[in-house]
């Protein structure tokens, strides 16, 4: 059945108020599919559709949607039902939603939720966004270390509904300190009277609640974990982070890097309004406009040279563009390399030397090429020499700038992706114009 057919069918059943058939369809669908169905429904049918869902289904659906749709649904459901839905939502999703709602609404919603659930989500919100504490969940089963396998099975039975479906169980002592980990598979293979303390693996790797989410992703990626426990001071277990949330983190961090590298402005997606998108992009553009005027004032400083040999202007965009581009290439290598590699002095030195070598190789290749072309095109060997030497020099300097600037920023704890493409491009623009017109001015008597 295609998406469109499914849609038509659901609309038909909504009109017929046929709860049984709608439930039969929903039973076949995963939360993502239910959310897709919901978003594809015409607006007038959406709210009616909600009336046919159970509270659990509403919670699944809400978790899959964006903040705007989430708030929309909660308003439609009314106070009582929306509190019930929020009780069932994953706490990390809920913390995110409440963060977006603003202080007034948070109080309003939290006061109506179950004491225990509202406590849990408030705990999460203590931690700053993008930390382990903020993306962890409290829906997992912990095991006191004195339990037998049978005790564990009994506990699992009563918590079967709420436990995240991962394959580890974390073991704690009486002070809630993390002391071990045991897998479902180990439990299945053990006798029911065996002690958890004898079966568990006690060298657990955990992350502190204040750790940056990108760092957590690195831990999970390195060790190929499906989940990692989150602890506070004194090793007290406060939650777990599962790998499916980490996949989202990795995607959004990569998006952030790309946004910064292209200075695209924060968090613009297909649904962002034109005004918002323009507003987020403008600061960068205005900054670049001002830097672009700097290039202009450099050219105006060489007005005399330019007036004498207007042909110099023909090669200006090519030199500036090539220099900017080679810088961006180096920048991309550095920014992505830093994600998987820690830096020591040796690595840095080797990288800078390598890029210096790259600059020399591409500088000579492109420089000789353009010298020949310029000579043939304009019939002026000195012009060819000036353009060729300029390109050689600017490509070497551009490559080094694209390497050294992000490394320096990294050293001073500034995100190197902020040394974004356009910024490096513009710095290289200015450098390349200075070099080009500088060399041209020296040779000006041979050029005219």
Residues of span 162-181 touching a second copy by CB under 8 A: 163, 165-167
Q: How near is the Cβ of 108 to a second copy at its closest, in Å? A: 29
Query: Is 366 among the residues that bind a second copy (CB under 8 A)?
Result: yes
Q: 236-242 and 207-208: which strand pairing?
A: unpaired
Using CA atoms, how far apart are residues 343 and 352, in angstroms rounded to an integer? 12
User: Edge to edge, what strands does the sheet with 142-144 contain?
Assistant: 142-144, 168-172, 178-183
The contacts of residue 25 (CB under 8 Å, 6+ apart) are 6, 9, 10, 13
Using CA atoms, how far apart are residues 437 and 215, in angstroms rounded to an integer? 46
Q: Which is nearer to a second copy, 128 or 357 (CB)?
A: 357
Q: CB under 8 A: which stretch of 81-89, 131-139, 171-179, 263-271 binds a second copy?
A: 263-271
Query: Is 272 among the residues that bind a second copy (CB under 8 A)?
Result: yes
Query: Is 404 among the residues that bind a second copy (CB under 8 A)?
Result: no
Using CA atoms, how far apart are residues 383 and 446, in angstroms rounded to an integer? 9
With CB under 8 A as the contact rule, the residue among 196, 261, 383, 405 that binds a second copy is: 261
Query: Is 30 among the residues that bind a second copy (CB under 8 A)?
Result: yes
User: What backbone torsions phi and psi does residue 184 show, to the nearest 5 degrees?
Assistant: -55, -40
With CB under 8 A as the contact rule, the residue among 188, 345, 376, 413 that binds a second copy is: 188
User: Is the separation of the CB atoms in 372 and 395 below 8 Å?
Assistant: no
As to burial, measured by CB atoms within 10 angstroms (0-12 exposed, 13-18 middle, 19+ buried), residue 313 is exposed
Q: CB under 8 A: which stretch of 5-13, 41-49, 92-100, 308-316 binds a second copy?
A: 308-316
As to burial, measured by CB atoms within 10 angstroms (0-12 exposed, 13-18 middle, 19+ buried), residue 20 is exposed
Query: Is 20 among the residues that bind a second copy (CB under 8 A)?
Result: no
Coil, helix or strand at residue 291: helix
Q: CB under 8 A: which stretch of 94-102, 110-118, 362-370, 407-415 binds a second copy?
A: 362-370
Q: Which is nearer to a second copy, 19 or 39 (CB)?
A: 39
With CB under 8 A as the contact rule, the residue among 361, 418, 442, 448 that binds a second copy is: 361
Sign of CA dihedral 174, 180, 185, 191: negative
Residues 54-83 that bind a second copy (CB under 8 A): none
Query: Is 322 among the residues that bind a second copy (CB under 8 A)?
Result: yes
Residues 424-443 that bind a second copy (CB under 8 A): 425-426, 429, 433
Sign of CA dihedral 382, 383, 387, 388: negative
- How many chain residues interact with a second copy (CB under 8 A)? 117
Q: 207-208 and 227-232: which strand pairing?
A: parallel
With CB under 8 A as the contact rule, the residue among 281, 404, 434, 443 that binds a second copy is: 281
Q: Which is nearer to a second copy, 215 or 303 (CB)?
A: 303
Query: Is 157 among the residues that bind a second copy (CB under 8 A)?
Result: yes
Residues 206-235 that bind a second copy (CB under 8 A): 217, 220-226
Query: Is 336 among the residues that bind a second copy (CB under 8 A)?
Result: yes
Q: How near is the Cβ of 284 to a second copy at its closest, in Å? A: 8
Query: Is 316 among the residues that bind a second copy (CB under 8 A)?
Result: yes
Query: Is 238 among the residues that bind a second copy (CB under 8 A)?
Result: no
Q: How near is the Cβ of 273 to a second copy at its closest, in Å? A: 7
Output the CA–CA distances (angstroms, integers) from residue 432 to 323, 425, 440, in the order listed.
7, 10, 12
User: Is the separation of the CB atoms in 384 and 371 below 8 Å?
Assistant: yes
Using CA atoms, how far apart are residues 207 and 384, in angstroms rounded to an integer? 60
Using CA atoms, how far apart are residues 446 and 407, in angstroms rounded to an integer? 41
Q: Which is nearer to a second copy, 113 or 393 (CB)?
A: 393
Q: Which is nearer to a second copy, 61 or 246 (CB)?
A: 246
Q: Which is nearer to a second copy, 106 or 257 (CB)?
A: 257
Query: Is 96 among the residues that bind a second copy (CB under 8 A)?
Result: no
Q: CB under 8 A: which stretch of 12-20, 110-118, 206-214, 350-358 binds a second copy?
A: 350-358
The contacts of residue 410 (CB under 8 Å, 6+ apart) are 338, 343, 416
User: Is the separation of the CB atoms in 88 and 55 below 8 Å?
Assistant: yes
């Amino acid at each position: 059945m295609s998406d469109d057919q499914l849609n038509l069918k659901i609309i038909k059943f909504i009109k017929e108020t046929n709860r049984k058939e709608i439930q039969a369809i929903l039973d076949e669908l995963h939360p993502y599919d239910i959310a897709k169905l919901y978003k594809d429904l015409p607006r007038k049918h959406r709210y009616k559709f909600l009336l046919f869902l159970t509270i659990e289904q509403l919670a699944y659906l809400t978790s899959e949607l964006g903040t705007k749709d989430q708030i929309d649904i909660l308003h439609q459901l009314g106070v009582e039902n929306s509190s019930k839905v929020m009780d069932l939502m994953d706490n990390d999703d809920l913390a995110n939603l409440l963060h977006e709602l603003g202080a007034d609404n948070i109080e309003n919603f939290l006061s109506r939720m179950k004491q225990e659930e509202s406590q849990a989500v408030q705990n999460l919100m203590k931690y700053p966004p993008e930390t382990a504490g903020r993306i962890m969940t409290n829906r997992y089963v912990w095991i006191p270390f004195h339990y037998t396998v049978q005790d564990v099975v009994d506990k699992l039975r009563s918590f079967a509904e709420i436990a995240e479906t991962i394959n580890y169980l974390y073991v704690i002592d009486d002070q809630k300190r993390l002391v071990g980990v045991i897998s479902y598979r180990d439990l299945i293979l053990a006798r029911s009277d065996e002690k958890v303390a004898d079966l568990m693996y006690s060298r657990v790797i955990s992350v502190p609640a204040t750790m940056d989410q990108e760092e957590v992703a690195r831990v999970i990626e390195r060790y190929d974990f499906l989940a990692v426990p989150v602890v506070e001071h004194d090793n007290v277990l406060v939650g777990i982070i599962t790998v499916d949330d980490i996949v989202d983190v990795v995607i959004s961090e990569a998006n952030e890097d790309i946004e910064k590298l292209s200075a695209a402005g924060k968090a613009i997606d297909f649904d962002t309004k034109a005004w918002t998108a323009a507003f987020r992009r403008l600061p960068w553009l205005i900054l670049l406009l001002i830097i672009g005027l700097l290039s202009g004032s450099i050219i105006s400083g060489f007005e005399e040279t330019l007036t004498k040999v207007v042909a110099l202007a023909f090669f200006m965009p090519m030199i500036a563009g090539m220099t900017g581009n080679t810088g961006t290439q180096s920048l991309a290598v550095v920014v992505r390399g830093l994600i998987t590699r820690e830096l020591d002095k040796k690595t840095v030195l080797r990288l800078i030397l390598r890029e210096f070598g790259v600059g020399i190789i591409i500088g000579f290749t492109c420089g000789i090429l353009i010298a020949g072309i310029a000579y043939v095109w304009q019939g002026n060997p000195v012009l060819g020499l000036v353009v060729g030497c300029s390109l050689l020099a600017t490509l070497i300097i551009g490559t080094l700038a694209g390497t050294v600037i992000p490394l320096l920023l990294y050293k001073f704890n500034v995100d190197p992706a902020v040394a974004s493409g356009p910024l490096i491009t513009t710095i290289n623009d200015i450098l390349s114009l200075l070099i080009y017109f500088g060399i041209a001015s020296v040779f000006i008597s041979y050029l005219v």
